[in-house]
A and B are shown apart, each in its own frame.
Chain A
Amino acid sequence: MTIAVLAVQGDFAEHEDALRSLGADCFEIRQQADLSRHFDGLILPGGESTVQGKLLRELGLFEPLRQKIEAGLPVFGTCAGLILLADKLSNDENVYFAALPATVRRNAYGRQLGSFYAEEEFSGLGKIPMTFIRAPFIESVHDGAEVLAEVGGNIVAARKGNVLGIAFHPEVDKNLAVHKYFLDMIKR
Protein backbone atom coordinates (compact mmCIF):
# COMPACT_ATOMS: atom_id res chain seq x y z
CA MET A 1 0.00 0.00 0.00
CA THR A 2 1.33 3.45 -0.93
CA ILE A 3 0.35 6.65 0.86
CA ALA A 4 1.07 10.13 -0.47
CA VAL A 5 1.90 12.77 2.15
CA LEU A 6 1.32 16.42 1.27
CA ALA A 7 4.74 17.99 1.91
CA VAL A 8 4.36 21.65 1.01
CA GLN A 9 4.80 22.73 4.67
CA GLY A 10 4.43 21.29 8.16
CA ASP A 11 5.19 18.06 10.02
CA PHE A 12 4.95 15.70 7.04
CA ALA A 13 8.18 13.88 8.01
CA GLU A 14 6.58 12.71 11.28
CA HIS A 15 3.66 11.22 9.32
CA GLU A 16 6.10 9.41 7.04
CA ASP A 17 7.85 7.92 10.09
CA ALA A 18 4.50 6.68 11.41
CA LEU A 19 3.56 5.13 8.05
CA ARG A 20 6.93 3.37 7.71
CA SER A 21 6.58 1.98 11.23
CA LEU A 22 3.33 0.37 10.06
CA GLY A 23 4.99 -1.06 6.96
CA ALA A 24 3.26 1.24 4.45
CA ASP A 25 5.16 2.83 1.57
CA CYS A 26 4.95 6.58 1.28
CA PHE A 27 6.16 9.48 -0.83
CA GLU A 28 5.93 13.26 -0.71
CA ILE A 29 3.78 15.53 -2.85
CA ARG A 30 5.50 18.89 -3.35
CA GLN A 31 4.57 19.70 -6.96
CA GLN A 32 2.39 18.55 -9.87
CA ALA A 33 4.93 16.05 -11.20
CA ASP A 34 4.55 14.06 -7.96
CA LEU A 35 0.88 13.42 -8.75
CA SER A 36 1.76 11.08 -11.62
CA ARG A 37 2.69 8.35 -9.11
CA HIS A 38 0.07 5.89 -7.91
CA PHE A 39 -1.20 6.27 -4.35
CA ASP A 40 -3.93 4.55 -2.35
CA GLY A 41 -4.44 7.25 0.27
CA LEU A 42 -3.46 10.83 1.09
CA ILE A 43 -2.33 12.44 4.35
CA LEU A 44 -2.66 16.19 4.99
CA PRO A 45 -0.23 16.94 7.85
CA GLY A 46 -0.13 19.54 10.61
CA GLY A 47 1.32 22.96 9.89
CA GLU A 48 -0.18 26.30 8.95
CA SER A 49 -3.39 25.89 6.96
CA THR A 50 -3.08 29.34 5.37
CA VAL A 51 0.36 28.44 3.99
CA GLN A 52 -0.63 24.96 2.85
CA GLY A 53 -3.85 26.20 1.22
CA LYS A 54 -2.00 28.90 -0.68
CA LEU A 55 0.78 26.56 -1.84
CA LEU A 56 -1.74 23.88 -2.89
CA ARG A 57 -3.36 26.39 -5.24
CA GLU A 58 -0.22 28.10 -6.52
CA LEU A 59 1.65 24.87 -7.19
CA GLY A 60 -1.33 23.51 -9.16
CA LEU A 61 -2.03 20.70 -6.69
CA PHE A 62 -5.40 21.79 -5.38
CA GLU A 63 -7.79 20.88 -8.21
CA PRO A 64 -6.26 17.45 -9.07
CA LEU A 65 -6.29 16.44 -5.38
CA ARG A 66 -9.82 17.80 -4.87
CA GLN A 67 -11.06 15.67 -7.75
CA LYS A 68 -9.33 12.55 -6.41
CA ILE A 69 -10.86 13.07 -2.94
CA GLU A 70 -14.29 13.65 -4.47
CA ALA A 71 -13.87 10.44 -6.47
CA GLY A 72 -13.32 8.51 -3.23
CA LEU A 73 -9.57 8.66 -2.48
CA PRO A 74 -9.12 7.95 1.26
CA VAL A 75 -7.75 11.07 2.95
CA PHE A 76 -6.61 11.74 6.52
CA GLY A 77 -6.00 15.28 7.82
CA THR A 78 -4.49 16.31 11.17
CA CYS A 79 -4.94 19.83 12.58
CA ALA A 80 -4.20 22.06 9.55
CA GLY A 81 -5.26 19.05 7.46
CA LEU A 82 -8.66 19.02 9.21
CA ILE A 83 -9.07 22.71 8.32
CA LEU A 84 -8.28 21.94 4.66
CA LEU A 85 -10.93 19.17 4.68
CA ALA A 86 -13.79 21.01 6.44
CA ASP A 87 -16.69 22.30 4.36
CA LYS A 88 -17.10 25.32 6.66
CA LEU A 89 -14.81 27.38 8.91
CA SER A 90 -16.65 29.39 11.55
CA ASN A 91 -13.99 32.09 11.93
CA ASP A 92 -12.40 32.22 8.47
CA GLU A 93 -13.99 32.83 5.09
CA ASN A 94 -11.69 30.39 3.29
CA VAL A 95 -12.84 26.88 2.39
CA TYR A 96 -10.49 24.36 0.79
CA PHE A 97 -11.38 20.76 -0.15
CA ALA A 98 -14.84 20.93 1.51
CA ALA A 99 -14.79 17.13 1.76
CA LEU A 100 -15.80 16.69 5.42
CA PRO A 101 -19.31 17.87 6.40
CA ALA A 102 -18.17 19.70 9.51
CA THR A 103 -17.90 23.25 10.83
CA VAL A 104 -14.39 23.82 12.17
CA ARG A 105 -13.06 26.65 14.33
CA ARG A 106 -9.43 27.65 13.68
CA ASN A 107 -7.09 28.31 16.64
CA ALA A 108 -10.03 27.29 18.80
CA TYR A 109 -7.96 27.01 21.99
CA GLY A 110 -6.14 30.31 21.48
CA ARG A 111 -2.40 30.87 21.25
CA GLN A 112 0.48 28.54 22.13
CA LEU A 113 -0.24 28.89 25.88
CA GLY A 114 -3.56 27.14 25.12
CA SER A 115 -1.84 24.11 23.54
CA PHE A 116 -2.37 20.96 25.64
CA TYR A 117 -2.07 17.19 25.94
CA ALA A 118 -4.91 14.80 26.82
CA GLU A 119 -5.69 11.10 26.83
CA GLU A 120 -9.23 10.42 25.71
CA GLU A 121 -11.46 7.81 24.04
CA PHE A 122 -11.34 7.47 20.26
CA SER A 123 -14.20 5.39 18.85
CA GLY A 124 -13.04 1.78 18.56
CA LEU A 125 -9.44 2.53 19.63
CA GLY A 126 -9.87 3.09 23.37
CA LYS A 127 -7.96 5.82 25.19
CA ILE A 128 -5.19 7.35 23.07
CA PRO A 129 -2.76 10.24 23.58
CA MET A 130 -3.84 13.50 21.93
CA THR A 131 -1.53 16.48 21.43
CA PHE A 132 -3.23 19.75 20.54
CA ILE A 133 -0.99 22.52 19.14
CA ARG A 134 -2.76 25.85 18.50
CA ALA A 135 -5.44 23.42 17.45
CA PRO A 136 -8.83 23.75 15.83
CA PHE A 137 -11.90 21.84 16.99
CA ILE A 138 -15.08 20.78 15.25
CA GLU A 139 -18.08 22.84 16.33
CA SER A 140 -20.61 20.57 14.65
CA VAL A 141 -20.96 17.86 12.02
CA HIS A 142 -23.74 17.47 9.47
CA ASP A 143 -24.90 15.33 6.53
CA GLY A 144 -24.14 12.06 8.30
CA ALA A 145 -20.55 12.67 9.38
CA GLU A 146 -19.66 10.47 12.33
CA VAL A 147 -18.10 11.87 15.53
CA LEU A 148 -15.12 9.70 16.57
CA ALA A 149 -13.71 11.59 19.56
CA GLU A 150 -14.54 14.44 21.93
CA VAL A 151 -12.40 16.28 24.46
CA GLY A 152 -14.00 18.55 27.06
CA GLY A 153 -17.30 18.61 25.16
CA ASN A 154 -15.71 19.59 21.82
CA ILE A 155 -15.52 17.28 18.80
CA VAL A 156 -11.90 16.55 17.87
CA ALA A 157 -12.27 13.73 15.33
CA ALA A 158 -14.85 12.99 12.64
CA ARG A 159 -15.24 10.86 9.56
CA LYS A 160 -17.51 10.58 6.60
CA GLY A 161 -16.82 7.77 4.15
CA ASN A 162 -13.30 8.16 2.75
CA VAL A 163 -12.56 11.35 4.70
CA LEU A 164 -11.02 11.36 8.22
CA GLY A 165 -10.26 14.64 9.99
CA ILE A 166 -8.80 15.09 13.47
CA ALA A 167 -7.77 18.17 15.45
CA PHE A 168 -4.74 16.63 17.21
CA HIS A 169 -1.36 15.20 16.18
CA PRO A 170 -0.93 11.41 16.55
CA GLU A 171 2.19 11.81 14.36
CA VAL A 172 4.08 13.50 17.22
CA ASP A 173 2.90 11.09 19.94
CA LYS A 174 4.57 7.92 18.68
CA ASN A 175 1.14 6.26 18.96
CA LEU A 176 0.22 4.56 15.71
CA ALA A 177 -3.44 3.73 16.45
CA VAL A 178 -5.03 6.45 14.31
CA HIS A 179 -2.64 5.85 11.40
CA LYS A 180 -3.49 2.15 11.59
CA TYR A 181 -7.20 3.09 11.63
CA PHE A 182 -6.63 5.08 8.42
CA LEU A 183 -4.76 2.21 6.72
CA ASP A 184 -7.63 -0.12 7.69
CA MET A 185 -10.05 2.40 6.14
CA ILE A 186 -8.15 2.03 2.86
CA LYS A 187 -8.10 -1.77 2.98
CA ARG A 188 -11.89 -2.01 3.30
Chain B
Amino acid sequence: MPIFWLELPENFRKNVVEHLDLMSRHSLKSTSTSNRFLVNSVVFSVPRVRFGYKEGRCLIMIYTGIETFLRMEFSKCTDGTVIHRSESSWDPSEISTKSHASTDALHLSISILKSLLANQSILIGALELEMEKKTGGHQEVIRHFSPMTSTSTTKFRIQKLVFVHNAFGGCEKRIATAICEMQDLVGMERICLMISSKKLGVTRSFVQREKAWNGKSMVLNELCMRSDIREVMHFFKKSSDRMTDATADESPLNTFVQSYEPPRPSQKWNFERVDKHKYILRTTKTPCGEWSHVLRERDETGHMPFFESEKCGMGYLCRTCSDPFEYWYHQNLSHRVLHEPFWNGIWDSAPSNELAFEWGPSFDVPQPLSFVQGPTANLVPDDVDSEALEYSEDVSEDNEF
Protein backbone atom coordinates (compact mmCIF):
# COMPACT_ATOMS: atom_id res chain seq x y z
CA MET B 1 0.00 0.00 0.00
CA PRO B 2 1.56 3.30 -1.07
CA ILE B 3 2.48 5.84 1.56
CA PHE B 4 1.69 9.43 0.72
CA TRP B 5 3.99 12.35 1.45
CA LEU B 6 1.34 14.01 3.56
CA GLU B 7 1.07 10.93 5.79
CA LEU B 8 4.71 11.18 6.82
CA PRO B 9 5.62 12.76 10.14
CA GLU B 10 5.68 16.56 9.99
CA ASN B 11 9.13 16.71 11.56
CA PHE B 12 10.41 14.57 8.68
CA ARG B 13 8.82 16.76 6.02
CA LYS B 14 10.21 19.88 7.68
CA ASN B 15 13.63 18.29 7.92
CA VAL B 16 13.57 17.52 4.19
CA VAL B 17 12.63 21.13 3.43
CA GLU B 18 15.53 22.33 5.57
CA HIS B 19 17.89 20.61 3.15
CA LEU B 20 16.41 22.10 -0.01
CA ASP B 21 17.85 24.97 -1.99
CA LEU B 22 15.75 28.00 -2.85
CA MET B 23 14.47 26.81 -6.20
CA SER B 24 13.62 23.33 -4.97
CA ARG B 25 11.71 24.93 -2.13
CA HIS B 26 9.85 26.97 -4.71
CA SER B 27 9.04 23.86 -6.73
CA LEU B 28 7.81 22.01 -3.66
CA LYS B 29 5.66 25.00 -2.73
CA SER B 30 4.03 24.75 -6.12
CA THR B 31 2.97 21.13 -5.71
CA SER B 32 0.11 21.68 -3.27
CA THR B 33 -1.35 24.11 -0.82
CA SER B 34 -0.28 22.04 2.16
CA ASN B 35 3.29 21.97 0.88
CA ARG B 36 3.16 25.73 0.46
CA PHE B 37 2.34 26.04 4.16
CA LEU B 38 4.98 23.44 4.97
CA VAL B 39 7.74 25.25 3.08
CA ASN B 40 6.69 28.58 4.52
CA SER B 41 7.08 27.15 8.01
CA VAL B 42 10.79 26.47 7.50
CA VAL B 43 13.11 29.48 7.60
CA PHE B 44 15.57 29.78 4.75
CA SER B 45 18.50 32.18 4.83
CA VAL B 46 19.66 33.93 1.71
CA PRO B 47 22.95 35.74 2.31
CA ARG B 48 22.54 38.32 -0.42
CA VAL B 49 20.15 39.43 -3.13
CA ARG B 50 20.76 42.00 -5.83
CA PHE B 51 18.07 43.91 -7.65
CA GLY B 52 18.92 46.30 -10.43
CA TYR B 53 16.96 48.54 -12.77
CA LYS B 54 18.65 50.38 -15.59
CA GLU B 55 17.60 51.52 -19.04
CA GLY B 56 14.47 49.38 -18.93
CA ARG B 57 16.40 46.26 -17.96
CA CYS B 58 16.08 44.54 -14.60
CA LEU B 59 18.33 42.19 -12.73
CA ILE B 60 17.61 39.71 -9.98
CA MET B 61 20.54 37.88 -8.50
CA ILE B 62 20.02 35.61 -5.55
CA TYR B 63 23.11 34.31 -3.81
CA THR B 64 22.60 31.23 -1.68
CA GLY B 65 26.27 30.66 -0.92
CA ILE B 66 29.78 31.06 -2.22
CA GLU B 67 29.80 30.63 -6.01
CA THR B 68 26.13 29.68 -5.80
CA PHE B 69 23.57 31.98 -7.31
CA LEU B 70 20.48 32.29 -9.42
CA ARG B 71 20.62 35.10 -11.93
CA MET B 72 17.78 36.48 -14.00
CA GLU B 73 17.97 39.43 -16.31
CA PHE B 74 14.87 40.96 -17.86
CA SER B 75 14.79 43.07 -20.96
CA LYS B 76 12.11 44.20 -23.37
CA CYS B 77 11.59 42.56 -26.71
CA THR B 78 9.01 42.98 -29.44
CA ASP B 79 6.66 40.39 -27.95
CA GLY B 80 7.08 41.23 -24.29
CA THR B 81 9.98 40.54 -21.99
CA VAL B 82 12.97 38.29 -22.49
CA ILE B 83 14.34 36.54 -19.41
CA HIS B 84 17.90 35.29 -19.36
CA ARG B 85 18.35 32.80 -16.56
CA SER B 86 21.48 31.12 -15.26
CA GLU B 87 22.51 29.26 -12.15
CA SER B 88 25.96 29.48 -10.60
CA SER B 89 27.60 29.90 -13.97
CA TRP B 90 28.78 32.66 -16.25
CA ASP B 91 29.13 30.31 -19.18
CA PRO B 92 26.95 31.76 -21.98
CA SER B 93 26.03 28.26 -23.12
CA GLU B 94 24.40 27.62 -19.75
CA ILE B 95 22.15 30.67 -19.90
CA SER B 96 18.59 29.75 -20.77
CA THR B 97 16.28 32.24 -22.40
CA LYS B 98 12.54 32.54 -22.16
CA SER B 99 10.03 35.12 -23.20
CA HIS B 100 7.06 36.38 -21.28
CA ALA B 101 4.03 38.22 -22.59
CA SER B 102 4.37 41.00 -20.04
CA THR B 103 5.68 44.17 -21.58
CA ASP B 104 6.59 45.66 -18.23
CA ALA B 105 9.94 44.17 -17.28
CA LEU B 106 10.05 46.11 -14.02
CA HIS B 107 6.66 44.87 -12.88
CA LEU B 108 7.47 41.32 -13.92
CA SER B 109 10.84 41.23 -12.17
CA ILE B 110 9.53 42.75 -8.95
CA SER B 111 6.61 40.31 -8.98
CA ILE B 112 9.03 37.42 -9.27
CA LEU B 113 11.26 38.86 -6.58
CA LYS B 114 8.29 39.13 -4.25
CA SER B 115 7.00 35.71 -5.18
CA LEU B 116 10.34 34.14 -4.35
CA LEU B 117 11.49 36.11 -1.36
CA ALA B 118 8.79 38.23 0.22
CA ASN B 119 7.82 35.71 2.81
CA GLN B 120 8.21 35.33 6.54
CA SER B 121 10.20 32.14 5.99
CA ILE B 122 12.90 33.85 3.91
CA LEU B 123 15.54 35.81 5.77
CA ILE B 124 17.72 37.92 3.48
CA GLY B 125 21.15 38.87 4.78
CA ALA B 126 21.47 41.85 2.45
CA LEU B 127 19.40 43.27 -0.37
CA GLU B 128 21.55 45.29 -2.72
CA LEU B 129 19.74 47.82 -4.89
CA GLU B 130 21.21 49.29 -8.02
CA MET B 131 19.50 51.95 -10.06
CA GLU B 132 20.36 54.39 -12.73
CA LYS B 133 20.15 57.97 -11.70
CA LYS B 134 17.26 59.34 -13.69
CA THR B 135 14.30 61.52 -12.96
CA GLY B 136 11.37 59.55 -11.64
CA GLY B 137 13.14 56.19 -11.72
CA HIS B 138 13.18 55.81 -7.97
CA GLN B 139 9.50 56.57 -7.68
CA GLU B 140 8.74 54.04 -10.40
CA VAL B 141 10.52 51.27 -8.51
CA ILE B 142 9.01 52.22 -5.17
CA ARG B 143 5.57 52.27 -6.80
CA HIS B 144 5.99 48.66 -7.94
CA PHE B 145 7.14 47.64 -4.50
CA SER B 146 4.43 49.67 -2.83
CA PRO B 147 1.65 47.02 -2.64
CA MET B 148 3.82 45.56 0.09
CA THR B 149 2.83 48.33 2.39
CA SER B 150 -0.73 47.07 2.52
CA THR B 151 0.08 44.00 4.58
CA SER B 152 3.12 43.42 6.71
CA THR B 153 3.32 39.77 5.76
CA THR B 154 4.35 40.51 2.21
CA LYS B 155 7.37 42.62 3.03
CA PHE B 156 10.89 41.33 2.77
CA ARG B 157 12.75 40.19 5.85
CA ILE B 158 16.04 41.99 5.24
CA GLN B 159 18.85 42.43 7.71
CA LYS B 160 20.81 44.95 5.71
CA LEU B 161 19.69 47.20 2.91
CA VAL B 162 22.55 48.07 0.58
CA PHE B 163 22.46 50.91 -1.93
CA VAL B 164 24.89 50.91 -4.77
CA HIS B 165 26.67 54.22 -5.18
CA ASN B 166 24.01 56.80 -6.05
CA ALA B 167 20.98 54.51 -6.13
CA PHE B 168 17.99 55.86 -4.25
CA GLY B 169 19.96 58.82 -2.98
CA GLY B 170 17.85 60.74 -0.52
CA CYS B 171 15.03 58.21 -0.28
CA GLU B 172 16.73 55.37 1.58
CA LYS B 173 14.39 55.56 4.53
CA ARG B 174 11.36 55.65 2.29
CA ILE B 175 12.29 52.50 0.43
CA ALA B 176 13.35 50.78 3.64
CA THR B 177 9.95 51.51 5.12
CA ALA B 178 8.22 50.31 1.95
CA ILE B 179 9.89 46.94 1.51
CA CYS B 180 11.52 45.88 4.79
CA GLU B 181 10.16 44.26 7.91
CA MET B 182 11.60 46.84 10.25
CA GLN B 183 12.19 44.47 13.15
CA ASP B 184 14.60 42.47 10.97
CA LEU B 185 16.44 45.44 9.51
CA VAL B 186 19.73 45.99 11.30
CA GLY B 187 21.14 48.72 9.15
CA MET B 188 21.70 50.32 5.78
CA GLU B 189 24.86 50.64 3.79
CA ARG B 190 25.89 52.55 0.72
CA ILE B 191 28.77 51.04 -1.17
CA CYS B 192 30.91 51.93 -4.13
CA LEU B 193 33.96 50.34 -5.63
CA MET B 194 36.97 52.23 -6.78
CA ILE B 195 38.18 49.98 -9.53
CA SER B 196 41.64 49.38 -10.80
CA SER B 197 42.86 48.02 -14.09
CA LYS B 198 45.67 46.23 -12.34
CA LYS B 199 43.99 44.36 -9.54
CA LEU B 200 40.86 42.31 -8.98
CA GLY B 201 40.76 42.07 -5.21
CA VAL B 202 39.64 44.69 -2.73
CA THR B 203 42.51 45.83 -0.56
CA ARG B 204 41.17 48.88 1.24
CA SER B 205 37.94 50.26 2.46
CA PHE B 206 36.81 53.58 3.87
CA VAL B 207 33.97 53.23 6.29
CA GLN B 208 31.96 56.21 7.41
CA ARG B 209 29.38 55.59 10.11
CA GLU B 210 26.49 58.00 10.15
CA LYS B 211 23.95 58.79 12.80
CA ALA B 212 21.70 55.80 13.34
CA TRP B 213 18.10 55.99 12.16
CA ASN B 214 15.54 54.38 14.46
CA GLY B 215 18.29 52.18 15.82
CA LYS B 216 19.40 51.13 12.33
CA SER B 217 23.05 51.71 11.57
CA MET B 218 23.92 53.85 8.58
CA VAL B 219 27.24 53.14 6.93
CA LEU B 220 28.97 54.51 3.89
CA ASN B 221 31.54 52.06 2.56
CA GLU B 222 33.97 52.85 -0.19
CA LEU B 223 35.83 49.76 -1.30
CA CYS B 224 39.07 50.22 -3.09
CA MET B 225 41.02 47.94 -5.42
CA ARG B 226 43.80 50.42 -5.79
CA SER B 227 46.77 50.77 -3.47
CA ASP B 228 47.44 54.38 -4.04
CA ILE B 229 48.51 57.03 -1.58
CA ARG B 230 45.83 59.31 -3.03
CA GLU B 231 43.09 57.11 -1.59
CA VAL B 232 44.63 57.37 1.86
CA MET B 233 44.86 61.10 1.55
CA HIS B 234 41.31 61.26 0.32
CA PHE B 235 40.12 59.31 3.33
CA PHE B 236 41.88 61.50 5.86
CA LYS B 237 40.77 64.66 4.12
CA LYS B 238 37.22 63.45 4.14
CA SER B 239 37.46 62.32 7.74
CA SER B 240 38.91 65.64 8.76
CA ASP B 241 36.04 67.49 7.08
CA ARG B 242 33.54 65.13 8.65
CA MET B 243 34.89 65.74 12.14
CA THR B 244 34.89 69.49 11.56
CA ASP B 245 31.36 69.60 10.23
CA ALA B 246 29.80 67.20 12.72
CA THR B 247 27.10 68.68 14.89
CA ALA B 248 26.97 68.45 18.65
CA ASP B 249 24.49 65.59 18.69
CA GLU B 250 26.59 63.45 16.36
CA SER B 251 29.52 61.25 17.20
CA PRO B 252 31.03 60.44 13.80
CA LEU B 253 33.42 57.55 13.43
CA ASN B 254 35.35 56.91 10.26
CA THR B 255 37.55 53.89 9.66
CA PHE B 256 40.25 53.20 7.14
CA VAL B 257 40.94 49.51 6.60
CA GLN B 258 43.89 48.11 4.77
CA SER B 259 44.83 44.48 4.13
CA TYR B 260 48.43 43.42 3.75
CA GLU B 261 49.82 42.46 0.41
CA PRO B 262 51.45 40.04 0.72
CA PRO B 263 49.97 38.75 4.00
CA ARG B 264 51.99 39.32 7.14
CA PRO B 265 51.18 36.43 9.47
CA SER B 266 54.08 37.40 11.69
CA GLN B 267 52.78 40.94 12.18
CA LYS B 268 52.60 41.61 15.90
CA TRP B 269 49.53 43.17 17.43
CA ASN B 270 50.17 46.86 17.78
CA PHE B 271 48.00 49.78 18.84
CA GLU B 272 48.73 53.46 18.61
CA ARG B 273 46.69 56.50 19.53
CA VAL B 274 47.61 59.83 18.00
CA ASP B 275 46.08 63.24 18.61
CA LYS B 276 45.82 64.98 15.25
CA HIS B 277 44.46 68.25 16.60
CA LYS B 278 41.18 68.03 14.65
CA TYR B 279 40.65 64.40 15.48
CA ILE B 280 41.98 61.32 17.24
CA LEU B 281 43.57 58.57 15.19
CA ARG B 282 43.46 55.08 16.69
CA THR B 283 45.47 52.65 14.58
CA THR B 284 45.61 48.92 15.19
CA LYS B 285 47.88 46.50 13.38
CA THR B 286 47.32 42.77 13.55
CA PRO B 287 48.18 39.75 11.38
CA CYS B 288 44.79 40.32 9.72
CA GLY B 289 45.70 43.80 8.52
CA GLU B 290 45.49 47.29 9.90
CA TRP B 291 42.70 49.73 10.52
CA SER B 292 42.50 53.29 11.73
CA HIS B 293 39.55 54.86 13.47
CA VAL B 294 39.17 58.59 13.16
CA LEU B 295 36.98 60.43 15.62
CA ARG B 296 36.71 63.56 17.69
CA GLU B 297 38.32 63.43 21.11
CA ARG B 298 35.03 64.38 22.76
CA ASP B 299 33.38 61.27 21.27
CA GLU B 300 36.08 58.83 22.29
CA THR B 301 34.55 57.84 25.61
CA GLY B 302 31.23 57.08 23.96
CA HIS B 303 32.84 54.81 21.39
CA MET B 304 35.07 53.08 23.92
CA PRO B 305 32.79 50.04 24.45
CA PHE B 306 32.88 49.49 20.68
CA PHE B 307 36.67 49.73 20.59
CA GLU B 308 37.11 47.45 23.56
CA SER B 309 34.88 44.75 22.07
CA GLU B 310 36.43 44.99 18.64
CA LYS B 311 38.61 41.96 17.95
CA CYS B 312 39.16 42.61 14.27
CA GLY B 313 38.28 45.83 12.54
CA MET B 314 39.01 44.61 9.03
CA GLY B 315 35.37 43.97 8.20
CA TYR B 316 34.81 42.37 4.79
CA LEU B 317 38.51 42.50 4.06
CA CYS B 318 39.53 39.91 6.62
CA ARG B 319 39.86 36.43 5.22
CA THR B 320 40.12 34.96 8.71
CA CYS B 321 37.56 36.80 10.81
CA SER B 322 34.81 37.85 8.42
CA ASP B 323 31.97 35.65 7.29
CA PRO B 324 33.30 33.49 4.41
CA PHE B 325 30.47 34.52 2.11
CA GLU B 326 30.91 38.21 2.89
CA TYR B 327 34.64 37.97 2.24
CA TRP B 328 34.11 36.11 -1.02
CA TYR B 329 31.38 38.46 -2.18
CA HIS B 330 33.30 41.67 -1.61
CA GLN B 331 36.55 40.33 -2.96
CA ASN B 332 34.74 39.39 -6.16
CA LEU B 333 32.88 42.64 -6.70
CA SER B 334 35.36 43.60 -9.33
CA HIS B 335 34.42 40.55 -11.40
CA ARG B 336 31.34 42.43 -12.49
CA VAL B 337 33.65 44.30 -14.81
CA LEU B 338 34.16 41.03 -16.64
CA HIS B 339 30.82 39.27 -16.25
CA GLU B 340 28.23 42.01 -16.31
CA PRO B 341 29.71 45.31 -17.41
CA PHE B 342 26.20 46.68 -18.01
CA TRP B 343 25.52 46.65 -14.27
CA ASN B 344 28.28 49.06 -13.43
CA GLY B 345 26.50 51.19 -10.86
CA ILE B 346 28.82 50.12 -8.10
CA TRP B 347 31.90 51.37 -9.86
CA ASP B 348 33.43 54.62 -9.05
CA SER B 349 35.80 54.64 -11.93
CA ALA B 350 36.37 58.34 -11.90
CA PRO B 351 39.91 59.42 -11.17
CA SER B 352 40.55 59.87 -7.50
CA ASN B 353 40.81 63.59 -7.73
CA GLU B 354 37.28 63.72 -9.12
CA LEU B 355 35.82 61.35 -6.61
CA ALA B 356 32.45 62.54 -5.44
CA PHE B 357 30.31 60.33 -3.31
CA GLU B 358 26.84 61.41 -2.44
CA TRP B 359 25.20 59.84 0.53
CA GLY B 360 22.01 61.76 0.03
CA PRO B 361 20.72 64.90 1.68
CA SER B 362 18.87 63.03 4.39
CA PHE B 363 22.08 61.97 6.06
CA ASP B 364 23.48 65.42 6.50
CA VAL B 365 26.80 64.59 4.95
CA PRO B 366 28.76 67.40 3.40
CA GLN B 367 28.52 66.86 -0.31
CA PRO B 368 29.92 66.54 -2.75
CA LEU B 369 32.85 65.01 -0.94
CA SER B 370 35.59 65.88 -3.32
CA PHE B 371 39.14 64.84 -3.23
CA VAL B 372 41.45 67.79 -2.86
CA GLN B 373 44.90 67.65 -4.26
CA GLY B 374 48.18 68.98 -3.04
CA PRO B 375 47.76 70.62 0.34
CA THR B 376 45.95 67.64 1.81
CA ALA B 377 49.15 65.63 1.82
CA ASN B 378 49.82 66.82 5.34
CA LEU B 379 46.63 65.11 6.48
CA VAL B 380 48.18 61.72 6.00
CA PRO B 381 49.32 60.37 9.36
CA ASP B 382 52.96 60.79 10.08
CA ASP B 383 53.47 57.08 10.50
CA VAL B 384 52.07 56.20 7.08
CA ASP B 385 54.85 55.14 4.77
CA SER B 386 53.87 56.83 1.53
CA GLU B 387 56.08 54.67 -0.60
CA ALA B 388 54.77 51.50 0.96
CA LEU B 389 51.25 52.59 0.13
CA GLU B 390 52.01 52.98 -3.53
CA TYR B 391 50.73 50.27 -5.76
CA SER B 392 53.13 47.40 -6.02
CA GLU B 393 53.99 46.27 -9.51
CA ASP B 394 54.42 42.76 -8.26
CA VAL B 395 50.97 41.58 -9.22
CA SER B 396 50.34 37.95 -9.89
CA GLU B 397 49.08 37.06 -13.33
CA ASP B 398 45.95 35.58 -11.85
CA ASN B 399 44.80 38.95 -10.65
CA GLU B 400 45.37 40.80 -13.86
CA PHE B 401 42.60 41.55 -16.27
Q: A and B: partners?
A: no
Listed in ascending order, the chain A residues whose CB lies under 8 Å from chain B are none
Listed in ascending order, the chain B residues whose CB lies under 8 Å from chain A are none
